[in-house]
Structure formats: C-alpha cells, structure tokens
Homo-oligomer: A and B are copies of this chain.
Amino acid sequence: MSILRNVKSLVPLFDRVLVQRVKPETKTASGIFLPESSVKEQNVAKVLAVGPGTVDINGNKVPVSVAPGDHVLTPPFGGSPVKVGEEDYTLYRDSEILAKINGE
C-alpha cells in the first residue's frame, strides 16, 4: 500500500504550487475525435494546492500569489514532476507561474 495514494494528501512547502496540467481537448463538443495535429498544446494548469509562502529577511510573510482552483499559465520547462496513481502533477515555485487565467 503506497503512502502517497491521493494527491489531496500532498501539502506543498514554502512557496511551492501543485498543479495539474489541463489536458487539451481531443474531441469536439459533439464527440468527433480531433486529429492530433489540431490539438493545441497549451501550458494551462489548474492549481490544486499551495504552500504557506516564504518569509523575507525582515521576517515578513510573503504569501503565494495563486490559490487552489485558479487556472494558471505555466512555463514550458521546469517544475518537479509528481506521479500519483496514473495521474501526473507538477510542483512549481510561485515565481515560476507566468500568469493567472481569469474565468469567464
């Protein structure tokens, strides 16, 4: 029995942000499968958990700039990969996250 059975048990440390990449759509809304070349690769991910932030040299807390549930744009490289079951996740430092994506 694995210690890490559920991604919800992962508590990021410092300013780390746990995300899961949003899989690109591979079929249309009406259920037609898209040829692979037409599937856009985007570094869009959903934030699952964030660390408590860091403390600067004057002792002030520096909170993480994103929150669980946010959709974010992640950098094309970097981050620490984590596999839980069959799913892939990534841990980034907060400052590596490029942008938040506002909902509509």
Chain A positions within 8 Å of B, measured between CB atoms, are 1-6, 9-14, 16, 18, 22, 24-25, 29, 40-44, 51, 55-60, 62, 65-66, 71, 73, 75-76, 80-84, 91, 95, 97-104
Complex formed: what's the CA distance from A62 to B44 in Å? Answer: 27
Indicate how many identical chains form the complex. Answer: 7
Known A-B contacts A58-B58, A58-B59, A65-B14; A4 and B101 likewise in contact (beta carbons under 8 Å): yes
Most buried by B among A25, A41, A42, A76: A42
In the complex, what residue of chain B is closest to A77 when comparing beta carbons?
A: B80
A99 in contact with B56 (CB, 8 Å): no
Please provide the 4 A-B residue pairs with the shortest distance between their CB atoms, ordered closest to farther. Answer: A11-B100, A9-B102, A10-B99, A12-B99
